[in-house]
Structure 1
């Protein structure tokens, strides 16, 4: 009988340590989950900044040096993710361009369903190491696209191959580049702002 109180007192510090360990483990799991979500935008930012994994670069204007004599073939690929009822094709499957020449090409997309659908395109180039040299000035992939039932739309891509590619000895034998897009459905597209008159109507001002 005299030993029981001593055992109870001895167990209290152990219970406190167990609770501390459990809390620490919970915080660690929460941190790891949060880090996994943060890794996606950080990875996308890294790819855009460096051209890693075939991610193309974004330019604001044509190269100052202008085009050079060397030419290269650029191929165009189009894909649609499952669940998106769109037909998506390049108007030309391949063209030959001068390195440094600003070029405009078009893709065509058609909503083949009877409902309005929204999507956004992901993109890359192959070989993957060429992403840092493929500069896009304008591209439909920068914003989400919403198509009405049966709507068909032409979408331009304005790009050039950076003349710095010609100075990279590792690409001396490069003959072609493939620009590839894949459209993915958006389940919750960003809401569009209402016109002023529609807003007034909702407020009962008109």
Structure 2
């Protein structure tokens, strides 16, 4: 009887351990999207915010009390090591008035011989400015597919929220850097299949 009780306890312990392992695995998968959502909501890590056109219009109305305060915006562009694109801003810096909509343009060109799907990650410096940097339209909202040798111009419509003027963490800040990095889409089979076809191989 004691042996049966011990076996039952062992099975129960193994069951709880198995459930714990499953919970940890699920948490691992959920952590990335949850962290991304947290950054988008709070601006943590310099994550910029998404705004509607009506929010932009409201910011313009609020900007009337900002006294014409301006910020220098610096535009930065990078590509991941496995990304065969040329990527750069048309203009390196611009001066924008708080609350006023402005547009920046980036240029990307696929220098490879196969189609490439890219996704852009982004942030601003200083990080505390992320919650106040609002984008209305951006190429970073969707994947970008460039054919071999194709070059595209990609706009970003944005504004700096007047609330930035009341943020003590940003006292004395005069320049904000908007930075993008293009990555090859994970699992991008378009380029792999095209490359395999060019070599006479069967695509996977």
TM-score normalized by the length of structure 2: 0.84
Whether the 8 Å CA contact 2:42–2:131 is kept in 1: the answer is yes
Which of the two has higher C-alpha Rg? 1
Distance, in Å, in 1 between the alignment partners of 2:20 and 2:128 is 36
Aligned to 1:141: 140
Q: Please give the residue correspondences for 1:13-32 in structure 2 after superposition, counting only pairs within 5 Å.
A: 13-32=5-24
Q: Which runs of 5+ in 1 are unaligned?
A: 1-8, 192-206
Compute the displacement of 1:146 (Å): 0.3
Alignment of 1:49-128 (within 5 A): 49-61=41-53, 62=56, 63=59, 64-66=61-63, 68=66, 69-128=68-127
Judge conservation of contact 1:118–1:187 (CA < 8 Å) in 2.
no
How many residues matched? 183
| Equivalent pair of 2:128/2:170 in contact (CA under 8 Å) | no
- 1:93-129 CA distances to partner (integer Å, 9 max, x unpaired)? 1111111121111000000100001011011111111
Gaps of 5+ in 2: 191-204
| SS in structure 2 at match of 1:150 | coil
Given the alignment of the two structures, is residue 45 of structure 1 paired with residue 37 of structure 2, yes or no?
Answer: yes
Runs of 4+ in 1 over 3 A off after TM superposition: 187-191
Q: Does structure 1 conserve the Cα–Cα contact (< 8 Å) formed by 2:70 and 2:96? A: yes
- Quote how far apart the aligned CAs of 1:166 are: 1.4
Return the alpha-carbon distance in structure 2 between the equivalents of residues 187 and 72 of structure 1.
36
3-state SS of paired residue (2:148)? coil
Partner SS, residue 35 of structure 1: helix
Q: CA deviation at 1:167?
A: 2.2
Cα distance in 1 for residues equivalent to 2:99 and 2:165? 10
State the partner residue of 1:199. Answer: none
